[in-house]
Amino acid sequence: MIAAPARTPIARFVALVEQRLGLHYEQGQWGELEAVLAERAAGRGVELYLAQLTAPSAQAEWKVLAERLTVGETYFLRHPTQLETLVDQVLPSFLRQTSSLRVLCAGCSTGEEPYSVALLARERGRVDSSRLRILGIDVNPRAIAQARRACYSPWSLRAVPAAMRAQWFQRTPEGFALQPQVRDQVIFEERNLLEEAPAFWAPGSFHAILCRNVVLYFPPEVIRRIIARMAQALVPGGYLFMGPSETLRGISEDFELLRGGDAFYYRLRQPTPPAASVALAAPPPAAPQKVAPPPADGLGEVLHLLDAERYTEAWAHLESLPQTSQPQALLLRAVLHLHAGRLAQAEQLGRQLATASATEAPACYLLGLCLEQAGDEAGARGRYAASVRADPTFALGYLRVGTLARRAGDIVEARVALRMAVSLLPQEKPLHLALFGGGFGRHGLMQVGLQELQACTEVP
């Protein structure tokens, strides 16, 4: 038997870093780590250094590595629409249930993010700051020390309006010092997101967690572990905010995706509709009813995977089933073609299905999506309009008609269609939501409809 080749020191270092800090390095990036390994191992030798890294006494060395390897880029009021959604809608929605609101900023770097939450909450005045507790955690001890100092460079404040800067910061020789009453509202802790800490992640610990621009450096299995922990630590119906280039697609099915303006965020799914809805005064969402009862022929699983936006797996599952000309199977096939960018195939099936009355409405909708994806919004709007003529209860059809009409400046038509969408969404067929809901869920789509309506009223 031939022995497996011993892994090189750099490969072992890369593996240790990923295991301990979660940071994943592709082979093309190993050069960065090689320099750090050479420097840190100098004087003791690489083999001894790697052995020492696995010992319990290596804590101090891991702190040094966390400082050296993490990326701490951050600034005040980053991704502002998310922050506004948090303080204007999400947090006030819990006020009837609790006297103290708890927000966690996981991977808070030098503190700009949690302080932004504190500042914005004061500026907006929707929640009483004395009821708001904000905790920032980060694995980088130097970042945490700087966060506690709360003194910032003009670069950190680049997105803060001048009036806000004047009100909440004081110019000092070291930089802009945050007012003590805001600074003291945030507590910081040095903590590694990968470490087991059952007491910290106890159920119901937080109403909202911000974990933005953190997991993009982690491999999927690490993200899965962290997100599962966060889901457990949120109150029922709690919220999770991630960075714009981070997604839970294929990571967790515990959350539904919501949209507020141009910001996306997640809400922990719960078995019953929430008692308090977010501030947009949405009509109470119907009890979650995600997909149609699974058909016995295996299509239920495909629908489920589609609903979870696991398109590749959904396609593979569909392909593993016996070929059938059942309309539901053909619709699923067409939708999955669309998600894979195979517009011609999706369109061909769509045209075929549009000739049968049972599938005319969803098929027209699908043809609209194909045209929209090809950049033809006017053509798409025509198809969506055909879908609601075929099925006047088709809420999703109205939603697209309204959205495209608003974009085209046809505000009267947009308002009519969007009102129809919002009033019909509570009864929208679970099959339509699974096929075309894009992972938003009924409640998320309702929010989209209400936002669109609001945008119509803002047009002069």
**Residue numbers of the site for ligand SAM (CB under 6 A)?**
21-22, 70-74, 78, 107-109, 113, 138-140, 143, 192-194, 212-214, 243
Least Å from the CB of residue 199 to ligand SAM: 17
CB of 261 to ligand SAM, least distance (A): 18
In degrees rounded to 5, what are phi and psi of residue 136? -115, 130
Rank residues 143 and 367 by Cβ distance to ligand SAM and give the closer one: 143
- Shortest Cβ 210–ligand SAM spacing (Å): 7
Instruction: Pick the closer one to ligand SAM by CB: 70 or 328.
Output: 70
Closest distance of CB 265 from ligand SAM, Å:
13
- Closest distance of CB 56 from ligand SAM, Å: 18
In the complex with ligand SAM, the residue whose CB is nearer, 156 or 387, is: 156
Q: What is the 3-state secondary structure (H, E, C) of the chain?
A: CCCCCCCCHHHHHHHHHHHHHCCCCCHHHHHHHHHHHHHHHCCCCHHHHHHHHCCHHHHHHHHHHHHHHCCCCCCCCCCHHHHHHHHHHHCHHHCCCCCCEEEEEECCCCCHHHHHHHHHHHHHCCCCHHHEEEEEEECCHHHHHHHHHCEECCCCCCCCCHHHHHHHEEEECCEEEECHHHHCCEEEEECCCCCCCCCCCCCCCEEEEEECCCHHHCCHHHHHHHHHHHHHHEEEEEEEEECCCCCCCCCCCCEEEEEECCEEEEEECCCCCCCCCCCCCCCCCCCCCCCCCCCCCCHHHHHHHHHCCCHHHHHHHHHHCCCCCCHHHHHHHHHHHHHCCCHHHHHHHHHHHHCCHHHHHHHHHHHHHHHHHCCCHHHHHHHHHHHHHHCCCCHHHHHHHHHHHHHCCCHHHHHHHHHHHHHHHHHCCHHHHHHHCCCCHHHHHHHHHHHHHHHHHCCC
Of residues 139 and 305, the one with the C-beta less far from ligand SAM:
139
Read off φ and ψ for residue 22, nearest 5 degrees: 90, -10
Indicate left, alpha or beta for 124 from its phi (over 0: left) and psi (-120 to 50: alpha): alpha
Instruction: Find the shortest distance in angstroms from Cβ 214 to ligand SAM.
Output: 4
How far is Cα 105 from Cα 195, in angstroms, rounded to an integer? 16
Q: Least separation, in Å, of the C-beta of 371 and ligand SAM?
A: 36
Smallest distance from ligand SAM to CB 52, Å: 20
Taking the least distance from each CB to ligand SAM, the nearer of 140 and 387 is: 140
Q: State the minimum distance, in angstroms, from the CB of residue 76 to ligand SAM.
A: 9
Farthest CA pair distance, the chain: 79
CB atoms within 10 A of CB 163: 9
Closer CB to ligand SAM, 110 or 328, in the complex: 110
Q: Compute the least distance from the CB of residue 243 to ligand SAM, in Å.
A: 6
Q: Which residue is nearest to ligand SAM (CB)?
A: 107
Q: Which is nearer to ligand SAM, 214 or 404 (CB)?
A: 214
CB of 143 or CB of 450, closer to ligand SAM:
143
Q: How far is the CB of 279 from ligand SAM (least distance, A)?
A: 24
Whether the Cβ atoms of residue 399 and residue 367 lie closer than 8 Å to each other: no
Q: Which is nearer to ligand SAM, 138 or 347 (CB)?
A: 138
The answer for residues whose C-beta is within 8 angstroms of residue 247's C-beta and 6 or more apart is: none
Dihedrals phi, psi of 210, to nearest 5 degrees: -105, 120
Q: Would you say 79 or 381 has its CB closer to ligand SAM?
A: 79
